[in-house]
Amino acid sequence: MNLTPAVILVALSVAFGLIPLFLTARFRKQVKVLGNILYPRPRGRVAVILPCKGIDPGFRDNLRAFFDQDYPSLELVFSVATADDPACPEIDAAIEENAGRVKAYRIVAGIENVRAQKITNLLRAVEFVGKSADILVFADSDLRPDSGFVRRLVAPLVYSQVGATTGYQWYAPPTPTLGSMLRSVWNAGALTFIADSRRNFCSGAATALRRGVFERAHIAQAWDRTLSDDLTLTLEVRALGMETMFVPSCVCVTHESSTLAQTVEYTNRQSVISRVYMPSLWWSAAIGHSIGCFFMLVGLTNLLMWCVHGGAASLLGSACLLMVPLQWVNALWLLGAVREMLPQLSDPLARLKWHYMFAASLAPFLSLTNTINSLFTNRITWRGIQYEMRSPWETVILPSVQPTAKEAPILLKK
């Protein structure tokens, strides 16, 4: 009996299964190096811009975390699309509660049908800030950072070659449902790339750059008709020949559950955006997950054949399933790195390790589903609005679902 094909398949599956372990090892080494850099005390006036829509889980606590930043010269700008957004009363209450302690404003950005609403919120906020800030920090309102978040995020900007800094978002599920665990594991997959300054990208959850770089890179013009704030910013900063630096201590937590349907919608959306804005990154993920799923299916098929018919070749071929325990090891190793970056989550994450291992085995199939979906569409639904991405620099809100309210921006005087 010729066992050579089975031996080759098993060898290839094990070799492929070791690649994520290599990437995680590299990530842990890079995080250690980045974490040991000592920066001068950051200076400059900082504007933290938070686009808001609706009330995220734990929204009040998230707001409080931004008001509690220990950066000395800081202002907060909350930007909503319309004055009747449910987030407005919560924002106004937080601003009033912290009056005299932190400069904070809420502005109404209005609605434009030529770009993502989040970007309209960002652009109006940048316009409102004007020249009053030396550094712009863009953060998502579903984050709950610690008090040193802004100070650490802006610190690397003292170096002229650093065009932007970025943190990242870790989804911490309040309960370990399948949808929540899959979203957390899927989102964690990008962590092993974001520490590599040659291939990384800005995370829309937490990004900082100098106002001068924002203007030199023509970010406002690049955002004018686009959908992805973070990937567009990444491309424009790269075009200046500058690098994006990942700040490991600025990985922030989002305390939020997700159903399986919500997770599929989220991952599909991110995959379509990646294909449009960063096709090289999309192809890497598409090929990697396709190969991983192939080997796992080969192993499972051979195991079933061996159970039914026996045979040494089928038994040997089933060893392709060794990729699964390698995925478990990688999940635990990466989880260990995250526990070091987020010590406040160390115990909760340790309790969820079996859930993360199980979700790690399913995540490649979810990613393959995302890849297949993104091959056939350039449309996404985001916060109830459906967009069509005709190119990285042209986005259209579909008429059938575009917002009916037409509200002009309201920019307060500072």
Per-residue pLDDT tens for 324-334?
A: 999 999 999 99
Q: Are residues 321 and 385 in the same domain?
A: yes
Q: Are residues 155 and 252 in the same domain?
A: yes
Beta-bridge partner residues of 51: 79
- Contact between 244 and 234 under an 8 Å Cβ cutoff? The reply is yes
Q: Is residue 140 situated within a structural domain?
A: yes
Give the least confident one: 105-109, 125-129, 303-307.
303-307
Q: Over range 150-177, report the average pLDDT.
A: 93
Q: Are residues 181 and 154 in the same domain?
A: yes
Domain boundaries, position 134 = 39-259
Q: Are residues 252 and 285 in the same domain?
A: no
Q: Are residues 235 and 309 in the same domain?
A: no
Q: Are residues 239 and 115 in the same domain?
A: yes
Q: Is residue 411 situated within a structural domain?
A: no
How many domains does one find in the chain? 2
pLDDT band at 401 (very low <50, low <70, confident <90, very high): very low
Q: Is residue 406 situated within a structural domain?
A: no
Q: Are residues 226 and 295 in the same domain?
A: no
pLDDT band at 407 (very low <50, low <70, confident <90, very high): low
Q: Is residue 402 situated within a structural domain?
A: no
Backbone angles phi, psi at 146, to 5 degrees: -80, 175
pLDDT band at 268 (very low <50, low <70, confident <90, very high): very high
What CATH number did the domain enclosing 69 receive?
3.90.550.10
Rounded Cα distance, 170 and 338, in Å: 9
Q: Is residue 295 situated within a structural domain?
A: yes
Task: Give 36 or 338, the one with higher predicted confidence.
Answer: 338
Structure tokens at 40: 């001068």
Q: Is residue 99 situated within a structural domain?
A: yes
Q: Is residue 204 situated within a structural domain?
A: yes
User: How confident is the model at residue 400, as a pLDDT?
Assistant: 56
Q: Are residues 224 and 330 in the same domain?
A: no
Q: Over range 277-289, report the average pLDDT.
A: 88
User: To which H or E segment does residue 157 belong?
Assistant: none
- Contact between 387 and 227 under an 8 Å Cβ cutoff? The reply is yes
Q: Are residues 193 and 168 in the same domain?
A: yes
Structure tokens at 179: 């949808």
SS3 of 74, please? strand
Instruction: Please count the other Cβ atoms lying within 10 Å of the Cβ belonging to residue 234.
Output: 23
Q: Are residues 296 and 322 in the same domain?
A: yes
Rounded Cα distance, 119 and 395, in Å: 11
Q: Is residue 395 situated within a structural domain?
A: no
pLDDT band at 413 (very low <50, low <70, confident <90, very high): low
CA 391, 381, 358: angle at the middle one, nearest 5? 110
Q: Are residues 287 and 346 in the same domain?
A: yes
> What average pLDDT does the structure give for the chain?
89
Q: Are residues 379 and 315 in the same domain?
A: yes
User: How confident is the model at residue 404, as a pLDDT?
Assistant: 47
